[in-house]
Chain A
Amino acid sequence: MAREDRGECRHCRHFRNDPAYLEAVLNGFTGLGSAYASTRADDGICLRHDRFVGPSGGCADFAGSAERGGGEPARVRDQPLVAVPGTEELHADRCAVDREERQRERGRAQDR
């Protein structure tokens, strides 16, 4: 796939590096670590690719800060990565979202 880097991750609406957010979605992080530590620098999570990335990265799926201003909320899939008792319904939602996304990806691949 041809790529065109249109901007750095730090300006992308898919990028999340707020320390409180990272500690909330990465279970166990605060047990022996901290998202407020210097060692993390400004790294965060790309919600588009589900990867850890630095703020200086970039890719063809960049979605600029203007769009970010619209305030896309953290999606259902941004929940903690492990089931927390009492959140089974939310995890079912997450699975449904993942299924839909996979189907859309397959559809896009067939179109290409």
Chain B
Amino acid sequence: MSRIEADIPGNLAAPRRTGWRELWLKEDWWAIWLGLGIVVAGYMFFANGSSIKWIAVTPARWSSFAQLGAHFAGNLDRYLVQFVLWLAVFSVALAALGHKAREFVPSFVFLYLVSVAIFAIGQWDQASRYNLEPPLVALVLGLVLSNLVGLPRWLDAGFRVEFYIKVGIVLLGATLPFTLIVWAGPVAIFQASIVSIVTFAVIYWVGLRLGLDRRLAATLGVGGAVCGVSAAIAAAGAVGAKKEDAPIAISLVILWAIVMIFVLPFLALAFHLPAGVGGAWIGTSEFADAAGFAAAQAYGDFAAQGAVAGTADQSVWAFTLMKVVGRDVWIGIWAFVLAIVATTRWERTETGRKPDAAEIWWRFPKFVLGFMVASLIVTAATSAYSLADFNKTVNPALVAPIKDLRTWAFIFCFLSIGLTTRFRELAHAGRKPFAAFTAGVAVNVVLGFILSAVVFAAHWESLTR
């Protein structure tokens, strides 16, 4: 028996439908439990006159190594407790999902230590001079380590990109007023609908014109139109795509998502787009949540440095509304519609499936619900405060610590993107799929700019608490 036969047995017992067991078998739900757990704990401390800010420690601004050393020496206990907390909650969640704790623990130790270093680099008072924004540093460092240095494969156990970003998004909900979601959400959904449909149509049409199989064209189309890898896999299942189609879509999504992490923020900066507008453009034209957050947070850092108008929050809020609320929720609908088309209009495959409207719910990215609930909890709990009291009392004791923990989750994610992206192992996409997907990218970027920076510019520019 070959090594891989032994190592990758697959499921030998007949798999049961996940159904409501997804409450503990899917990482979306674990992101909700962890994220909401932190939010509720934060509120309970706050309601009792205390705060979780002790454990939400982050590196302070520094200008000399002596200052940095003094900070770590004085806060070592806080970092240790925070590390143990992250390790404990992630270990429990990943063990429930079926991962091995003995592989996760050493991997997460490595991830946390490197994340501390990246966070500290971002707090250097000269960091902005050299464009050392933590998301970009994390990504580049991760790519260098995985592609040029090389890391043992077992370390991948702790590099759970999607899990960290989902926990971060749920925590983000606590810092985003629910009233803002209600106010800006419909525009985000409308803009996302236009972009999703047009991008899918372009990739699919170009793909067919180039002679691609329509199942591959549909998989590529949804990958570009909705939320990258997750959407491509959902579409592949819905249309009965060939086994090799998904890796092609994965390769193209990763390639363009990583390119866009660097291109979109600097392009938006060149156009002097306000933070909210830039965030909305990134949300419209990035291809994956994790990659998009890296770009949006980097653009928010530009705003924090005064390079563009607006605030860092506006960039991340606009991105979240566009990408998470606007585009991600399309996944189930695309999968359902494509399943109907594949089984009724296209030739029936040997492995036909029955379209089921319930798929819209089962494929719904549930962490979005956690994001909404977190927002609702904090908004309701703090609705009695005036804006001045909110800024003076609620923000430092409740919102800011949650935001700091969110930043940690995002850095874990951004670093993990780089550490798990090994270019030489990605499937060779081929010229035709590349051309079809790239046509969609081009249209998506231009259309996203027009909608964000021209049609709805005033809307995205005015996002505020």
Contacts and interface: CB of A to CB of B under 8 A. Distances in A.
Interface of A: 3, 9-11, 15-21, 24-46, 49-61, 65, 68-69, 71-76, 78-82, 84-85, 87, 90, 93
Interface of B: 1-18, 22, 25-29, 97-99, 156, 159-163, 227-234, 236-247, 250-251, 253-254, 257, 287-288, 290-291, 331-332, 339, 349-354, 356, 359, 362-367, 417, 420-422, 424-428
Contacts of B13: 68
A53 B353 contact: yes
A33 B291 CA distance: 11
Nearest to A14: B351
Contacts of A39: 227, 230-231, 233-234, 331-332, 363-365
Nearest to B248: A81
B4 A20 contact: no
A40 B242 contact: no
A36 B27 contact: yes
21 contacts: A18-B11, A20-B98, A27-B425, A32-B291, A33-B161, A33-B232, A34-B27, A36-B26, A37-B28, A38-B22, A38-B365, A39-B231, A49-B349, A51-B351, A52-B246, A57-B351, A68-B13, A76-B2, A76-B5, A82-B247, A90-B2
Contacts of A32: 161-162, 228-229, 250, 253-254, 257, 287-288, 290-291, 417
Contacts of A78: 4-5, 8, 10
Contact of A37 (B2, B11, B365): B365
A81 B430 CA distance: 14
A55 B253 CA distance: 26
Given A33-B233, A40-B230, A57-B351, A27 B240 contact: no
A75 B351 contact: no
Contacts of A33: 161-162, 228-230, 232-233, 250, 288
B350 A85 contact: no
Contacts of A37: 26-28, 162, 230, 365
A16 B86 CA distance: 32
B427 A41 contact: no
Given A28-B421, A34-B27, A71-B12, A57 B17 contact: no
Contact of A43 (B3, B237, B257, B349): B237
Contact of B364 (A17, A38, A51, A75): A38
A51 B349 CA distance: 10
A80 B10 CA distance: 13
